Every structure is written in structure tokens, then in C-alpha cells.
Amino acid sequence: MNPQPSKIASPPPAADGSRVPYGVFTSQAVYDLEQERIFRGPTWSFLGLEAEIKAAGDFKSTFIGDTPVVMTRTEEGRLAAWVNRCAHRGAMVCRQLRGNASSHSCVYHQWRYNLEGDLYGVPFLRGLNGQAGMPADFDRKANGLRKLRVESYAGLVFATFSDTVEPLTDYIGPVMGGYIDRIFHKPVEYLGCTRQFSNSNWKLYLENVKDPYHASLLHLFHTTFNIFRVGMKAHCVTDERHGMHSIIMAIKQDQGETSAAYKDQKIRSFDSGFTLEDESILALVPEYEVLATNHIQPIFPQLVIQQIHNTLVARQLLPKGPNAFELVFHFFGYEDDDAEMRKLRIKQANLVGPAGYISMEDTEATELVQQGVVRDGRLTSIIDMAKDAPEQSDTLITEKLIRSFWAGYAKLMDVDLQTLVEA
Amino acid sequence: MDMALRQTLLALQDEYISTLDTDALELWPEMFVDDCLYEIIPKENEDLGLPAPVIYCDSKAMLRDRVVSLRNANIFQPVVYRHFFSGLSFQVGGDGCIEMWSSYLVINTSQLGQSTVYQTGRYHDVVVQAEGRWRFRSKRVIYDTSRIQTALAIPI
């Protein structure tokens, strides 16, 4: 019988991100530290689309990490966000998912706040009929809701607890900003959201959206239906600042080049005999300068921008304890879509989300990891693909985006992960 | 109330549920007309008049594609659904179609033997007589359980 090794011989994750102890996916201590150092630390978390709160007073309840927050639009049309917790006794103030209100009051004792989060109403502030109320020195101005810094980039709303993190545009950086501009180059319209819950750690999902290697191996839709993907040019890069944002693009080549590449490489390994009766689901109406079938762009920690064919989604990733996360898929189109284009976007929703032809396997896979590593927090995964070619960015067979993520994660957490998971 | 018609509609829903619960997926598209609509959409969007769906098929061909994909391409934990439905109401439309509504509950049982409420919601159907039997012209599955657990492979 082989004894389980109690120590690993690999370098710690901070070095190059290629060895990550599984305990980071299961440990409550790691999770609690993440809430402080990541979600309440120097990061900007995605809350939603400006298109969801167009009118003054429109609001949406959401989360930064696992802290409930509300984003809203003020009377002056500005964006505001605050922690959804009454300053008085801690009750959630806003109890609806979304709506419109000119103020928010806590049902418990009816403390009332304006849209900016300032406290202005306290019942019996001065007591009643000569009986005492709040102390005379109680300062409403100093007892509002916990306000957050809010900024938007191209219609995407972000907030942060941090007073020190750089402005949002710098946090995103020019490289990632350019890719966001590609999708958000004109006004968008919110088309609704779908929600998916997974019994696995939120970072497993981030690994997944930084992992082009799994795409053709886990998701067999294209190969099963003999949809040629040869000649697709890949593009995998990270942001220049901390390496935790990234993009994977699969770029369509012109037809001649594609078939030549196909002939040369004989990539199609089997002919299953299956064909799609309705291929419109894989239509690709050109909308951007670079014709890509897939644009998958995580902006750490809570956003993944997605263009798959003509379906457009801003996915919000929300941790729900060490062993669970929720995904909220915010579907959108452009304000100037015609009816046909809008219909195509809705039809191609079949490709993505919990029932998506090329996505339903993802949460299955992350849950398999969560189940597999349950008792082996000190062991590590192997994240080596294309490690010897760090300059290579035109391949899908790479795990460099994941390595870059873990290196940035260790830095942000400012802790030796091996020590933490062994504690 | 037309009790005979009610019996017919109950039998149609029973057949639909039986088709899914016995994994007879290949027969599922045959319960629809060619030019059909099958949609699964959260109540959250339906109530706001927003269109984002989980599944949206606007032809029987798309339903057949879904079945072929589930059988041959997609990877998911074996699903054991048990559907329950209640509260049927209906009205006869102008062109001989019938519009009907009912509540449904789906219990899913995992490989480890745990049964959980997977989804509840409401069917909104339009059925017509075509090629000698009642078929769905439209079946809209409007679900309350907005958080879909893990994945939704098999139709509801």
C-alpha cells in the first residue's frame, strides 16, 4: 500500500502558479481571508449593467463576495451602492431583488435612508410625549449605510470597499479595456438573467474560464456534430497589471485558410454521423472588427464577459461559502438590434448557461474536483500545460492564464497558501 | 366545464410527463407540431417581460437536435426526474387550439440516492389537433426555482 505523502515537493503557488494546494477550494479559513483581502480588499467587483437601472430610483440587490449590497441610481442620475445592512440593528434594508424606490427604509424599526445611503429618518428620534428618544448627540450623518465607491466602465457597474484601490479604468487596464470596448462599443439593452448554483468553490469556475485546454475535450458538441473548428486562431492574454484578468478568443479565419489548415492537419478525428437539423444556432453574424466565435473575459473577481457567436452575457460570479458559488448570467443585446438579430441572440442562449450545449459540463467538472479533493487539501493540482513557452499566446492548448491567476491570487492574499491550508 | 376535454388534456400532460420520466426522450419531440415553440424561462424574467431563456427551441427540428446532443455530445450526471403536476385550467381558443396552464414539481434523485426538489413552476401550453392527435404548438416552462442546481440537461 502506498502511503499518502503528507508533504508535497512542488514549489508553493506564489512562485509560478503551477502548483495549487487543493485546500484553497475547501478551507473555511481561506474563504474568510478571501472575503477580507479580495472582496473587501483592493479590487473592483462587478454588480450589474447600467442598463438594469436606467431610471432614477431603480435598484438591484446583489453581493460583493457574500456581503449583500444594493446598487441604485440617484435622483441626479448618478450610480450609488451601499451595504444592505441597517445601521441600527443590522437588518437587511432592501428586501427585493430589483425595483424602483425614492428611498429605502428598514422594516424592523423604519429607519429611512435616501438613495445615496444617508440616514434621514429615525422614528421617535426625539422621543414621545416628553419621554426620551435617541441621545441628543446622536448624529444621523455619521450613521448612514456603509457606502461603497462606485464606478462604471462602458456600462458595467463596479463597486469596492477599498479607499486605496486605483480608479476602475486603471484597475481594468488598457489591454483588458480594449477587449471590453470591443463588446461594449454601443449602448446595450438588458434582456434578463438566469442563475446557476454549483456545489464547488468559486475559484474553480475562474480556473474554468481561464482554461482553453478543456474546451474541445470536455465540451463535445462541436466534434459530435462535425462542426469544423480547424483554422480557428486562438488568442490568450492576461492584463499587464496583476495578471488576474484575462481573455480567451477563438478567432475565425477566412474560409480558404480554414480548409487548407484542415487538409494539412487532418484534425477531425472521427465522423460521428450526426448533423444538426437547425444550424442557425451556430450562425455568426459579423458585428465586430475581429470575427471571433468566442470571447471569454474574466475581470477579477466577479465578472466574466462573454460573447459566444451572437449571444452576449455578463456573468457575475458570487462565492457562497467555500463549497458553493452562484452564477448570474446577465443577457444583453444592443439597443439598435433589429428583431431578427434579437431573435438570434435569444436562440443562441441555447449554447450557454446551465442548459448550454457548450457549457452545461462546466459546473459538473468543477463539482467533480470539489468532491475529489475533499480529504487532500495539502496535495496540489498540476498546471503545467505550455509552461515552457510563456511567450506563446496564439494557442488554446495552454494553462498559462490559470498560472498567472494563481500567482496574482497568492500575492493579493499575501500569505503562503501551503501554510494556510495546513493550519 | 367540458369534462371530456379536461380528461383529454390531463391524459396529454400525463403522457408528456411519462415520456420524460421514463427517459423516452426520442418520443418527446413527437408530442409537438413541426412549427412549435418550446421554452424554459425563469419566472423572474417572465414577470419583467424580459426574454432571456434557459432553453429556446422554435421548431421540432431544434427539439430533435437537443435530444441527439444530450444522447451523444453532452456530459452530465444521470438524471432521474419525477414530474408531478396539478391545478390544470384551460380555455378553448378561436382556431380550435386550447390554451392551458398547470403547476409542476420536479424531484431529481442523484446517483447517491438523494431526492431533492429540482424545480417548480408553471406550464403554459397551447395544444392543437394535428395528424390525428393532440400536440403542443407551444409549451412554455416558466420556472420559480430561479437558481438552477448544477445544470439543466433533460427537458422539463
Residues A123-160 have pLDDT tens digits of 999 999 999 999 999 999 999 999 999 999 999 999 99
Q: Confidence band (pLDDT; 50, 70, 90) for A423?
A: low
Q: A217 is written with which cell numbers?
A: 475535450
Chain A residue with the nearest C-alpha to that of B45: A192
Please answer yes or no on whether A191 and B61 come within 8 Å at the CB atom. Answer: no
| Shortest CA gap A250–chain B (Å) | 21
Q: A373 is written with which cell numbers?
A: 479533493
Residues A245 and A297 sit within 8 Å (Cβ to Cβ): yes
CA A351 vs CA A6, A396, B17, B34: distances in Å:
43, 20, 25, 22
Average pLDDT over residues B2-9: 95
- Please state, in angstroms and rounded to a whole number, the distance separating the CA atoms of residues B68 and A263: 28
Q: Confidence band (pLDDT; 50, 70, 90) for A325?
A: very high
Nearest to A87 by CA among A61, A57, A110, A59: A110
Within 8 A of B114 by CB-CB distance, chain A residues are: none
Ranges of H-type helices in A88-214: 168-183, 202-209
Average pLDDT over residues A366-393: 93
| Shortest CA gap B6–chain A (Å) | 32
Residue with cell 460570479: A317
A270 versus B77: the higher-pLDDT residue is: B77
- Please state, in angstroms and rounded to a whole number, the distance separating the CA atoms of residues B117 and A317: 24
Packed helices A400-413 and A202-209: angle between N→C axes, nearest 10 degrees: 140
Q: What is the pLDDT of residues A211-236, one digit of tens each?
A: 999 888 888 888 788 776 656 788 99
| Shortest CA gap A329–chain B (Å) | 9
High-pLDDT (> 90) share of chain A, %: 79
- Please state, in angstroms and rounded to a whole number, the distance separating the CA atoms of residues B137 and B95: 12
DSSP output for chain B: --HHHHHHHHHHHHHHHHHHHTT-GGGSGGGEEEEEEEEEEEHHHHHHT----SEEE-SHHHHHHHHHHHHHT-------EEEEEEEEEEEE-TTS-EEEEEEEEEEEE-TTS-EEEEEEEEEEEEEEEETTEEEEEEEEEEES--EEES---S--
Please answer yes or no on whether A360 and B152 come within 8 Å at the CB atom. Answer: yes
Residues A91 and A77 sit within 8 Å (Cβ to Cβ): no
Residues A224 and A244 sit within 8 Å (Cβ to Cβ): no
Question: For chain B, how big is the Rg over CA atoms in Å?
Answer: 15
Q: Confidence band (pLDDT; 50, 70, 90) for A371?
A: very high
Q: Is the predicted pLDDT of residue A121 greater than 80, yes or no?
A: yes
For A44-78, letters b (16+ CB in 10 Å) and e give bbbbbbbbbbeeebbbbbbbbbebebbbbbeeeee
Please answer yes or no on whether A225 and B62 come within 8 Å at the CB atom. Answer: no
What stretch of H or E contains A164? none
Residues A330 and A316 sit within 8 Å (Cβ to Cβ): yes
The overall average pLDDT reported for chain A is 91
Residues A11 and A138 sit within 8 Å (Cβ to Cβ): no
Q: What is the pLDDT of residues B48-60, one digit of tens each?
A: 999 999 999 999 9
Q: What is the pLDDT of residue A391?
A: 87
Within 8 A of A194 by CB-CB distance, chain B residues are: 42, 45, 52-54, 146, 148
Average pLDDT over residues A111-130: 96
A241 versus B46: the higher-pLDDT residue is: B46
Chains A–B, number of C-beta pairs less than 8 Å apart: 118
Q: Confidence band (pLDDT; 50, 70, 90) for A3?
A: very low
Neighbours of A171 (CB within 10 A): 24
Q: What is the pLDDT of residue A262?
A: 46
Within 8 A of A224 by CB-CB distance, chain B residues are: 69, 72-73
| Shortest CA gap B2–chain A (Å) | 37
Which of A195, A221, A367 lies closest to B69 in CB terms? A221
Within 8 A of B56 by CB-CB distance, chain A residues are: 346-347, 349-350
Q: What is the pLDDT of residue A226?
A: 74
Nearest to A186 by CA among A305, A332, A53, A330: A332
Q: What is the pLDDT of residues A61-101, one digit of tens each?
A: 999 999 999 999 999 999 999 999 999 999 999 999 999 99
Average pLDDT over residues A283-311: 95
Which of B40, B56, B66 lies closest to A346 in CB terms? B56
Please answer yes or no on whether A367 and B73 come within 8 Å at the CB atom. Answer: no
Within 8 A of B152 by CB-CB distance, chain A residues are: 354-355, 360
Residues A409 and A37 sit within 8 Å (Cβ to Cβ): no
Please answer yes or no on whether B65 and A278 come within 8 Å at the CB atom. Answer: yes
- Please state, in angstroms and rounded to a whole number, the distance separating the CA atoms of residues A14 and B81: 45
Q: Is the predicted pLDDT of residue A307 greater than 60, yes or no?
A: yes
Q: Is the predicted pLDDT of residue A2 greater than 60, yes or no?
A: no
Q: What is the pLDDT of residues B127-144, one digit of tens each?
A: 999 999 999 999 999 999
A389 versus A159: the higher-pLDDT residue is: A159
Query: How far, rounded to the nearest angstrom, does the alpha carbon of residue A282 sit from its chain's CA centroid?
Result: 24
Within 8 A of B48 by CB-CB distance, chain A residues are: 192
Q: What is the pLDDT of residue A395?
A: 87
Q: What is the pLDDT of residue A272?
A: 65
